[in-house]
Amino acid sequence: MPHITLPDGRQRSYDKPVSVNQIAHDISPNLAKVALAALVNEALVDTQSLVEVDATVKIITNRDAEGLTILRHSCAHLLAMAVKSLYPSAQATIGPVIEDGFYYDFAFERSFTPDDLIQIEQRMYELAKANLAVTRRTLNHEAAIKFFESIGETYKAELIHSIPTDETLTLYKQGDFEDLCRGPHVPNMGIIQSFKLMRVAGAYWRGDAKNAMLQRIYGTCWPDQKTLKSHLHHLEEVAKRDHRKLGVQLDLFHFDECAPGAVFWHPKGWTLFQQLIGFMREQQDEAGYVEVNTPDVMDRSLWERSGHWMNYRDHMFTITTEDERIFALKPMNCPGALALYAHGLRSYRELPLRMAEFGKVHRYEPSGALHGLMRVRHFTQDDAHIFCTNQQMQDECSKTISLIFNIYRQFGFENIIVKLSTRPENRIGSDENWDLLEDALHGALASLGIGYQINSGEGAFYGPKLEFVLCDAIGRHWQCGTLQVDLNLPERFDISFINEHNERERPVMLHRALFGSLERFIGILIEHYSGILPLWLAPIQLAIMSISEAQSEYAKTVCQQMKRAGFRVQLDVRNEKIGFKIREHTLQKIPYLIVVGDREQAESLLTIRSQSGENLGTFTQPEAIELLRANCNPLTPDLEASLR
């Protein structure tokens, strides 16, 4: 006689085992229609499951995160069913849920084409419309293998061989299609109404390059057509903003197989890169930093001492010299900063010592993980290492956090999520030290009134850290800056300072990155701004165009004056129609276009157009320079807004 407790505390009693579907119906017939599954004593089960003992029960619908996962998993089964119905010789292998969708891997004698995907998707909608009931059965290990071998699904049989023999297996069936799956699944396929197949890609069976190459069909699935359309629109916006595409269009950078995972910066891209470094130098100078530089290649012994050799060896590029010394290209800047600090005797009067470095680092990333500027093997970190006393530690953390927030806001990032990652299982140092360091980060955030999330066990092996996550213009999240506090590396490197009592004392070391990787941050900026960078940051700020050859000399004069005023300018006096020139420079996303014709030349005027195509008016040269200079600051509104 199970007693059922609902989320709101209400209870229901039954005189015999009861199905989840019946419980939902007793709560509300309308709830039963949309029920996908239930949490029974915190275990997720499908609606046909029986509740036989006292339990807490929460009915799951597509409004719940668990419901959306079930919907997508069931849609993967619908995809497999559609493929099997159209191409009976295809073998279905595995089909998990992924972020925003699902995929299913198939073994098939030929490659699926885009036309095939259209046909498969159409077949999926036909099968969903049939409203096929989904049923579950269990089989033992041997029976399940025999079943899948009997229907020619050898990959499924192989998969079962890797599952412990004492484990009972569940199979889910809709119509004439049956698949191996833990479940749960939707009660019937008619519930799945809003989905789309996206693309097909290659994938090795079980992720091993030694195995057969399969075909992976990706899809997305949502509770209704409105959210599906919204998601597809978001994907279109993401594609439009793709920094790899814009990097080529705007002539910023390229990649080459002669140096996989390393960026070839073009003049305009390198100008952007240097603008960021210049901006950061100004910010750090005001905040009391000194800039240093350490070697790119250092002896293995340094990395063993730091712990990186043990914890990060597989991601390091190494070289053995003729005298059999082993060196590594630095994957991090911190051991070099420690070696730099250790050179000479330090006094408490020097602390806090804030050493910034734009250090080139090299990390081996698998080829499949490389992704434009977002994931590279060779990049520049805007690192800083702050050496301070225990008494200064929390204040330095607060100052660093404030600096990070201030800098991000100058780029237009207002929504900043902070995550505090605490001690991992694999770590160095005493619990007493870890308590001290974690308390400093908690205290700094509290003093600034900044809310944060806890990432339990996700700290670095030498200290806890803060991660700063930015939300871009289309709602995506990017983890950029970090702040780590560390007493362990100072101990391993035996660094010290002479305190006010003339005694040696161990400093605290703060590891800080603001952009993180400059390459990655540039990729984020390109996508955040959709390639239309603010005036102060744009590689080319102004394009000066003559309407005809008659104004060429005047245009050249204006160009020189704008350059002397400090602007980055492109001159266009080609014998082309002005509409053609405007379109070309607009596509290059130059912030402002200056047009000079007969009137402008006669009266020493400039006509300014915005990147969006708005005519901002006609100005004298001094007026134009003043307006543009006022706009050439991260914290000022754009010129269009200021003129309204």
The model's pLDDT over 457-479, given as tens digits with 9 standing for 90+, comes to 988 877 899 999 999 988 899 99
Flag whether pLDDT at 644 surpasses 70: no
CB atoms within 10 A of CB 389: 17
Residue 168 pLDDT level (bands cut at 50, 70, 90): confident
**Are residues 75 and 191 in contact, defined by beta-carbon separation less than 8 angstroms?**
no
**Are residues 481 and 510 in contact, defined by beta-carbon separation less than 8 angstroms?**
no
CB atoms within 10 A of CB 269: 22
Binding residues, as ranges, are 334, 385, 511
How much is the pLDDT for 367?
83
Query: What CATH number does the domain located at 265-294+331-528 have?
Result: 3.30.930.10
Residue 31 pLDDT level (bands cut at 50, 70, 90): very high
SS3 (DSSP) at 481: strand
DSSP class of residue 370 equals -
Average pLDDT (143-167) is: 92
Flag whether pLDDT at 643 surpasses 70: no
SS3 (DSSP) at 520: helix
Tell me: the pLDDT tens digits for 41-88?
999 999 999 999 999 999 999 999 999 999 999 999 999 999 999 999
Closest to 125 measured CA to CA, from 194, 23, 31, 176: 194
Average pLDDT (605-629) is: 92
How much is the pLDDT for 642?
63
SS3 (DSSP) at 30: helix
CA 77 to chain centre: 29
**Are residues 72 and 97 in contact, defined by beta-carbon separation less than 8 angstroms?**
yes
Binding residues for Zn(2+), as ranges, are 334, 385, 511
Flag whether pLDDT at 425 surpasses 90: no
Residue 640 pLDDT level (bands cut at 50, 70, 90): low
Residue ranges of the domains in the chain?
Answer: 3-60, 65-239, 265-294+331-528, 542-643
Average pLDDT (539-550) is: 95
Which class would CATH give 3-60?
alpha beta
Flag whether pLDDT at 271 surpasses 90: yes
**Are residues 359 and 294 in contact, defined by beta-carbon separation less than 8 angstroms?**
yes
Q: Which residues pair with 484 in a beta bridge?
A: 465, 511
Which DSSP string corresponds to 381-400?
EEEEEEEE-HHHHHHHHHHH
How far apart CA 73 and CA 63 sit, in angstroms, is 15
How much is the pLDDT for 463?
84
Closest to 127 measured CA to CA, from 174, 94, 171: 174
CB atoms within 10 A of CB 415: 11
Which DSSP string corresponds to 231-242?
HHHHHHHHHHH-
Under 8 Å CB-to-CB from 439, ≥6 apart: which residues? none
Mean pLDDT of the chain: 93
User: Which amino acid is present at 176?
Assistant: D
Q: Which stretch of DSSP H or E encloses residue 226?
A: helix 225-241
Burial of 510 (0-12, 13-18, 19+ CB in 10 A): buried
Q: Can you name the CATH fold of 542-643? A: Rossmann fold (3.40.50)
CA 528 to chain centre: 12
Flag whether pLDDT at 308 surpasses 90: no
Average pLDDT (421-437) is: 87
The greatest distance separating any two alpha carbons of the chain, rounded to the nearest whole angstrom, comes to 97
Tokens coding 247: 């990097």
Q: What are the φ and ψ backbone dihedral angles of 7, each rounded to 5 degrees?
A: -55, -30
β-pairing verdict for 318-320 and 326-329: antiparallel
How far apart CA 211 and CA 217 sit, in angstroms, is 18
SS3 (DSSP) at 4: strand
Flag whether pLDDT at 630 surpasses 80: yes
Q: In what order do the strands lie in the sheet with 592-596?
A: 569-572, 542-546, 592-596, 605-610, 615-620
Under 8 Å CB-to-CB from 200, ≥6 apart: which residues? 111, 112, 116, 117, 215, 216, 217, 218
Which DSSP string corresponds to 314-350?
GG--EEE-TT--EEEE-S-SHHHHHHHHTSS--BGGG
Residue 599 pLDDT level (bands cut at 50, 70, 90): very high
* Signed CA dihedral, 305, 307, 308, 311: sign only: positive
Cis peptide before 88 (omega within 30 of 0): no
How much is the pLDDT for 132?
95
How far apart CA 523 and CA 347 sit, in angstroms, is 41
How far apart CA 422 and CA 117 sit, in angstroms, is 45
* More confidently predicted of 439 and 638: 439
Strands (E), 258-333: 264-265, 290-291, 297-299, 318-320, 326-329
Flag whether pLDDT at 371 surpasses 70: yes
Which DSSP string corresponds to 341-368?
HTSS--BGGG-SEEEEEEEEEE----GG
Phi-psi region of 42 (alpha: psi -120 to 50; beta: other; left: phi over 0): left
**Are residues 35 and 47 in contact, defined by beta-carbon separation less than 8 angstroms?**
yes
How much is the pLDDT for 488?
86
**Cα distances (angstroms) measured from residue 453 to each of 93, 122, 483, 505, 569:** 38, 43, 15, 33, 45
Query: What CATH number does the domain located at 65-239 have?
Result: 3.30.980.10
**Are residues 45 and 53 in contact, defined by beta-carbon separation less than 8 angstroms?**
no
Under 8 Å CB-to-CB from 512, ≥6 apart: which residues? 383, 384, 385, 386, 400, 481, 482, 483, 484
Burial of 423 (0-12, 13-18, 19+ CB in 10 A): buried
How far apart CA 427 and CA 504 sit, in angstroms, is 26
How far apart CA 382 and CA 357 sit, in angstroms, is 6
Burial of 374 (0-12, 13-18, 19+ CB in 10 A): middle
Flag whether pLDDT at 489 surpasses 70: yes
How much is the pLDDT for 431?
87
First-to-last CA distance in the chain?
73
**Active-site annotation, residues:** 334, 363, 381, 383, 385, 465, 511
Counting residues of the chain whose pLDDT is more than 90, the rounded percentage is 84
Q: Which residues pair with 529 in a beta bridge?
A: none
Tokens coding 572: 């266009």
